[in-house]
Amino acid sequence: MALDRKDIEALAAHLESAELEARDVTKITDDYPQMDWADAYDIQDEIRRRKEARGHKTVGLKAGLTSFAKMKQMGVDVPCFGFVSDYMARPDGGEIQTSELIHPKVEAEICIVTKAPLRGPGCHVGAVMAAIDFVLPAVEIIDSRYRDFKFDLKSVIADNTSASRFVIGGRSRRVEELDLRTLGVVLEKNGQIMAMAAGAAVLGHPAAAVAMMANHLGARGQEIPAGTFIMTGGVTEAIAVQAGDSVNVRFQDLGSVSMKFV
C-alpha cells in the first residue's frame, strides 16, 4: 500500500462525487503516481462502503475488460473487477437518462447467478460451472468518470470499473442448456448491427472471468457468496450512445435486452 487511509477516503469521495454529479475528472494517478493495485481496490471498496452507508444495496459484481476486443479498445491487458448497486438497475425496454451520465457506452454481458459460494485461490472454470444457478443476459452501460475515457487500469479500478447502469432482460436458462462459449450475441444500435461475438470472447469462457474474480477476491480475504449476480464482462467492444439512440442486444437462447437513451 502506497496511500494512507486519508488519501483513500479523499479519492473515493472525489470519484463518487464525479459519478453522482455526472462530472468528468482527470485520472487520479496523475496526482498519485505511487498508487498501487491494493490502493486502487481499497478506493473502490471505500466507494462501495459509502454507498451502502447511505442505504444503497450492492446487488451484483462485475468483471470488466475480459474480452480481447475490450482490452484492445482500452489498451490494457488484464481484467478488472467491480460492483453494481441497486440504483444502477434499469428495466428492460425502459429509458436511460443521459443527463445523469457523462459519456455512456453499452456492452453486452453474459451473466450468472451463483447457488454456492466461490472462494479462491484455486478457483477454476469447473468449480464455477458447478456453482452456477442460472444464466441471464444483460446490457451494461459504462460511464468512466475520466475525461475522454483517458485512464490507466489502476485509475479505472478505483473508479469502480466505470460501473454506471445495467439492464437485465431476456430469459434465464439453466447452465446445462447452454454452451457459454458458442453463445452468440448481436448488438444493434438504431436498428443497425454494431458488433457481434460469442461467449468465448470473454477469456475463452465466461466462467473463466468468474474464476478469476473469485481468485482476486480470495487474495483480498473475500469470497463470492451464494446468490450473487455476476456480469462476466462485455463480449464485444463498448459502443458509444447518446440521447435518441435505441439499443437492442440479441443473445442466442437467452432472448433480447433493449433500452432507449433519452
Name the site residues for ligand 0L1 (rule: CB under 6 A). 62, 64-65, 70, 74, 140, 142, 144, 156, 161-162, 233-234, 238
Q: Least Å distance between CB 62 and ligand 0L1?
A: 6
Amino acid at 128: V
> Residue 22 or residue 116: which is nearer to ligand 0L1 going by CB?
22
Give the C-alpha separation, 16 to 133, whole Å.
32
From the list Mg ion, ligand 0L1, none, partner contacted by residue 195 (C-beta under 5 to 8 A by kind): none
Give the residue with the Cβ less far from Mg ion, 105 or 250: 105
Which among Mg ion, ligand 0L1, none contacts residue 44 (Cβ within 5 to 8 A by kind)? Answer: none
In angstroms, give the least distance from the CB of 135 to ligand 0L1.
18
Closest residue by beta carbon to Mg ion: 140
- The CB-of-17 to ligand 0L1 minimum distance in angstroms stands at 18
Nearest approach in angstroms of CB 61 to ligand 0L1 is: 11
The least CB distance from residue 144 to ligand 0L1, in Å, is 4
Question: Quick one: 162 or 228, whose CB is closer to ligand 0L1?
Answer: 162
Residues that bind Mg ion (CB under 5 A): 64, 107, 140, 234
Q: Pick one of ligand 0L1, Mg ion, none as the site partner of residue 238 (Cβ within 5 to 8 A by kind).
A: ligand 0L1
Question: Dihedral sign, CA of 135, 172, 167, 249?
Answer: positive
Residue with cell 485512464: 151
65 binds, among ligand 0L1, Mg ion, none (CB under 5 to 8 A by kind): ligand 0L1
